[in-house]
Structure formats: structure tokens, C-alpha cells
């Protein structure tokens, strides 16, 4: 259960062979509680959180305000199903609709569910407006849209897809940021294109302005539904409420999830009137999606994140983080390039391709041993996605650990 900390002669709380299915790692760090940007084990050993539970805990840990809202709502009513509704769900949907020119919100419980719903809504729209034979869906190399069969079919990573073939028919992956491939491929047979403004899992690359413009134009001309998957980038993470706005994308549907309910499971698809009109009662549903507890908390999260001063500070913190990461790249030979935007950032590590993935695992473990929790993106990108409330001193502290661990590495 314990592993010795070689630096401070303390112990880590590790669980070996936890009673979970083998899809998760066989050794896990056992955490107990959190406060702000810090996480603690039961012995009080602390970790600076540069991962936010994979870009989820945007407002940090130990939020009494959110806990109180959840507790109050639980005392009133926990669940009603989508046969009925609650004031909390209506209020939350109203706030989300105003993030753009949207007319309705579909609630799910996870990112992949939001993606499934968006893909189905796009196919409904194509079927009802153009008839049969316009059902194909394009996604891009490096994309990550989730693990359920529809979202997985749009996630062209062989390690994720191959064991689960056959996939859903009608999906095609195109090269990311290749305008010519778009022009060549997207024809009348497509219902939708799904794109991440910035690829959170696939290497922290973002759409180029020209590519975004081409996507907007072709989708508009051919009435193909443009879906922006903002499960990871949405709600402030990149320094804008929606990353689509700086990326120059004009999506028809937007998927949101990770930070939406402060760590509780809630996702949303933002739907414009034109598409909503084509959806009939009973054509899609979720038992738990948009329940009163998650939506009550999400309402408060949206109030905080959508405040102009909050977003301004996220932008400042993002710029500061990028400066510090650039500084590491200037000093440490193995730190090759800064990637990402705002507080979804990273460093390309110069490991040789063949063993990059396993060495990245070791690198992140070493950082964990020194009290920093970070993430990987793609094969060789160290991904940093701290709570959006992070302070500059904490950015300094985390970056020092990153620099010292990277400086010990050789190619």
C-alpha cells in the first residue's frame, strides 16, 4: 500500500490491484481530500493539482459553496427523470443557451454522451431536411470524442478502436488542419463534421484560422452540421467561455461536459432552433441527464465562470503559465515546444517516438512523487490543466517541479 518517497522519507498512499476492472491502471494514488489547487492523501501529504481530474475541477477542490448547493438540493429532491423537470434544470439550461445563438439544451451525464447525442441530432437533421443517404460523419486525426461506440467511431486512434471493431458505419477520419482534404471529401453524403477547437487528448494542437474558415464555409454551403466538441476546452479552460470563438469556428452544435457541474457528472449539447425543430419526442433520452442536483451546482459554476473578471484572470494565468513553460523549453534540452492555449497547455518532450508513451508515464510518476499531478496528451506531450483559480505562485511551484524532473531526463 505504501511506497517510500526517496526525497523526503515520507510515504505515498498507493493502492495495488484495486477492485476495479482492468481497464484502469493496477496501481493508483489514494487521495482523501482537496482544497483549492491542492489534493491531500489521508496522511496529509499534499499534491499540487495540474490536472484537475482531467480538466474537470475548474473551481478547485473543497468548494463549500458548491457542496452546500448540492446538499440543499438533495434535501429538496434528488431525481425526477426527464418525464418531469425542476427549476434547477430550467435555470441551468437557460444560462447555457445564452452562451451563443442556441434555442435548447440536451443534458447528459458525460462527455461521450453529449457527443452521442450531437451525432444523433445531426443525423436526424440531415434525414428530415435532406432525406436518406446523408448520414456520414467526418472527424479528424488526433481527435478524442469518447469511448461509447458512436463517439469511439469518431476517435481514430487504433489502440482505442481496433479491439472493438466493427465500429458504427459511416464514419471517416480526415487529416486535422488539412483544408484540401476537407474540400476533396466533404460532399452531400455527410450529415456532420465533429471537431475539437484544440485537441485536448491528441497532442494539444488547435485548428488553424484557415481550416476553421474552410470548415465553416463548406458546412454552411452543404448544410452539414458542424459540431464543436468543447467537452475539454469549453467553459473558460482556454481563456474564453467557448474555445470556438478564438478558434474562429461557427459551430451548429456544441458539446460541453467536464467542468460544467464542478466535478459532478453533467454534460450538455447546445442546440439551435433549426436543428431542434427536427427532433421528435422520444428520439433520444437519458434517465439521469440534467437532474436537479447536478444542474443546481452547474448554475452556480456558470455564474462564476461566465463573470468577465474571472475569465480575464484565467487569461492572465494562462499567459503566465505559457511564459513559464517557454522558460523551461529555453533551459531544458528535452523540453522541446510549448503547446496549447490558456490553462490547457503543455510541453512536447523530446523522447524518441518508439518508447515515448511509457517514458511519459514514468515522467508523470516522478512528478507525482515530488508532489505534482500532471497529465499526458498524445504520445509525448506533458499536459497541464490546473484549476482555473490557480495563482501565479502555484504556477511557479509546479513549473519548478516540471523543470527539475525534465532536467534529469536524457533522450
Whole-Å CA distances, 1 to 15, 17, 27, 29, 30: 5, 10, 9, 10, 9
Determine the 3-state secondary structure of 215 from DSSP: helix
* Closer residue to ligand PLP, CB minimum distance, 112 or 394: 112
Considering only residues 201, 240, 252, 369, which one is a binding residue for ligand PLP as defined by CB under 6 A? 201
* Closer residue to ligand PLP, CB minimum distance, 305 or 375: 375
- CB atoms under 10 Å from CB of 178, counted, come to 16
CB-CB contact of 93 with 66 (8 Å):
no
CB-CB contact of 237 with 343 (8 Å):
yes
Considering only residues 52, 57, 86, 112, which one is a binding residue for ligand PLP as defined by CB under 6 A? 112
Among residue numbers 225 through 244, which ones bind ligand PLP (CB under 6 A)?
Answer: 229, 231-232
* Closer residue to ligand PLP, CB minimum distance, 155 or 394: 155
> In the numeric block, which cell numbers belong to residue 90?
430550467
User: Shortest gap between Cβ of 142 and ligand PLP (angstroms)?
Assistant: 11
CB-CB contact of 142 with 202 (8 Å):
yes
User: Shortest gap between Cβ of 150 and ligand PLP (angstroms)?
Assistant: 11
User: Shortest gap between Cβ of 253 and ligand PLP (angstroms)?
Assistant: 13
Q: With contacts defined by CB under 6 A, name the span among 64-72, 140-148, 167-175, 290-298 that binds ligand PLP.
A: 140-148
> In the numeric block, which cell numbers belong to residue 194?
465533429
Considering only residues 34, 146, 346, 387, which one is a binding residue for ligand PLP as defined by CB under 6 A? 146
User: Shortest gap between Cβ of 117 and ligand PLP (angstroms)?
Assistant: 12
> Which positions from 239 to 268 touch ligand PLP by CB under 6 A, shown as an x/- string?
------------------x-----------
Instruction: Tell me how far apart the alpha carbons of residues 38 and 109 are, in angstroms, rounded to a whole number.
Output: 26
> Which positions from 390 to 409 touch ligand PLP by CB under 6 A, shown as an x/- string?
--------------------
* Separation of CA 333 from chain center: 29
Beta-strand relationship, 27-29 and 11-16: antiparallel
CB-CB contact of 110 with 229 (8 Å):
no
Determine the 3-state secondary structure of 319 from DSSP: helix
* Separation of CA 67 from chain center: 23
User: Shortest gap between Cβ of 45 and ligand PLP (angstroms)?
Assistant: 27
Is 144 an interacting residue with respect to ligand PLP (CB under 6 A)? yes
* Closer residue to ligand PLP, CB minimum distance, 41 or 201: 201
* Closer residue to ligand PLP, CB minimum distance, 294 or 394: 294
Phi, psi of 223 (to 5 degrees): 55, 40
> In the numeric block, which cell numbers belong to residue 22?
482492468
User: Shortest gap between Cβ of 216 and ligand PLP (angstroms)?
Assistant: 19
User: Shortest gap between Cβ of 41 and ligand PLP (angstroms)?
Assistant: 25
Among residue numbers 26 through 55, which ones bind ligand PLP (CB under 6 A)?
Answer: 54
CA neighbor of 247 nearest in space, from 222, 200, 210: 210
CB-CB contact of 231 with 238 (8 Å):
no
Determine the 3-state secondary structure of 374 from DSSP: coil
CB-CB contact of 11 with 41 (8 Å):
no
Among residue numbers 179 through 198, which ones bind ligand PLP (CB under 6 A)?
Answer: 196
Q: With contacts defined by CB under 6 A, name the span among 109-117, 120-128, 157-165, 204-212 that binds ligand PLP.
A: 109-117
CA neighbor of 63 nearest in space, from 283, 238, 298: 298
CB-CB contact of 93 with 87 (8 Å):
no
Q: With contacts defined by CB under 6 A, name the span among 111-119, 304-312, 336-344, 386-394 that binds ligand PLP.
A: 111-119
Name the DSSP letter for residue 185: H
Q: With contacts defined by CB under 6 A, name the span among 25-33, 130-138, 143-151, 365-373 that binds ligand PLP.
A: 143-151
> Which positions from 302 to 341 touch ligand PLP by CB under 6 A, shown as an x/- string?
----------------------------------------
Instruction: Tell me how far apart the alpha carbons of residues 353 and 336 are, in angstroms, rounded to a whole number.
Output: 14
User: Shortest gap between Cβ of 251 and ligand PLP (angstroms)?
Assistant: 13
CA neighbor of 111 nearest in space, from 145, 150, 140: 145
The set of catalytic residues is 144, 229, 258
* Closer residue to ligand PLP, CB minimum distance, 201 or 369: 201
What are the residues binding ligand PLP (CB under 6 A)?
54, 110-112, 115, 144-146, 196, 200-201, 229, 231-232, 257
Amino acid at each position: 500500500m505504501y511506497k517510500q518517497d526517496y526525497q523526503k522519507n515520507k510515504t505515498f498512499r498507493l493502492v495495488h490491484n484495486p477492485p476495479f476492472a482492468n481497464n484502469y491502471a493496477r496501481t493508483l494514488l489514494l487521495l482523501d481530500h482537496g482544497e483549492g489547487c491542492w489534493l491531500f492523501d489521508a496522511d496529509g501529504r499534499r499534491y499540487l493539482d495540474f490536472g484537475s481530474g482531467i480538466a474537470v475541477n475548474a473551481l478547485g477542490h473543497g468548494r463549500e459553496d458548491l457542496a452546500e448547493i448540492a446538499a440543499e438540493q438533495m434535501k429538496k429532491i434528488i431525481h425526477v427523470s426527464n418525464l418531469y423537470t425542476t427549476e434547477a434544470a430550467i435555470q441551468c439550461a437557460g444560462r447555457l443557451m445564452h452562451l451563443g445563438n442556441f434555442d435548447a439544451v440536451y443534458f447528459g451525464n458525460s462527455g461521450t454522451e453529449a457527443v452521442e447525442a450531437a451525432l444523433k441530432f445531426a443525423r436526424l437533421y440531415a434525414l428530415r431536411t435532406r432525406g436518406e443517404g446523408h448520414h456520414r460523419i467526418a472527424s479528424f486525426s488526433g481527435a478524442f470524442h469518447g469511448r461509447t461506440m458512436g463517439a469511439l467511431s469518431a476517435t481514430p486512434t487504433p489502440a482505442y478502436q481496433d479491439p472493438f471493431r466493427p465500429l458504427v458505419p459511416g464514419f471517416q477520419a480526415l487529416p486535422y488542419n488539412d483544408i484540401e482534404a476537407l474540400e476533396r471529401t466533404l460532399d452531400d453524403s455527410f450529415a456532420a463534421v465533429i471537431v475539437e477547437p484544440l485537441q485536448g487528448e491528441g497532442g494539444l494542437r488547435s485548428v488553424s484560422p484557415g481550416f476553421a474558415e474552410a470548415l465553416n464555409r463548406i458546412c454552411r454551403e452543404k448544410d452539414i452540421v458542424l459540431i464543436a466538441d468543447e467537452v475539454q476546452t469549453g467553459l473558460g479552460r482556454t481563456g474564453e467561455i467557448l474555445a470556438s470563438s478564438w478558434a474562429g469556428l461557427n459551430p451548429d452544435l456544441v458539446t460541453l461536459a467536464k467542468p460544467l457541474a464542478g466535478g459532478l457528472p453533467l454534460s450538455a449539447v447546445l442546440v439551435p432552433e433549426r436543428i431542434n425543430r427536427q427532433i421528435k419526442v422520444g428520439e433520444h433520452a437519458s434517465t439521469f441527464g440534467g437532474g436537479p442536483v447536478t444542474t443546481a451546482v452547474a448554475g452556480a459554476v456558470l455564474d462564476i465562470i461566465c463573470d468577465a473578471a474571472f475569465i480575464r484572470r484565467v487569461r492572465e494565468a494562462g499567459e503566465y503559465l505559457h511564459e513559464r513553460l517557454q522558460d523551461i523549453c529555453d533551459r531544458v534540452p528535452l523540453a522541446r515546444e510549448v503547446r496549447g492555449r490558456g490553462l490547457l497547455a503543455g510541453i512536447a518532450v523530446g523522447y524518441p517516438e518508439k518508447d515515448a508513451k511509457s517514458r511519459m508515464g514514468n515522467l508523470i510518476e516522478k512528478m507525482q512523487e515530488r508532489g505534482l499531478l500532471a497529465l499526458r496528451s498524445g504520445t509525448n506531450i506533458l499536459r497541464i490543466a490546473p484549476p482555473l483559480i490557480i495563482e501565479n505562485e502555484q504556477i511557479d511551484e509546479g513549473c519548478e517541479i516540471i523543470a527539475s524532473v525534465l532536467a534529469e531526463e536524457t533522450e
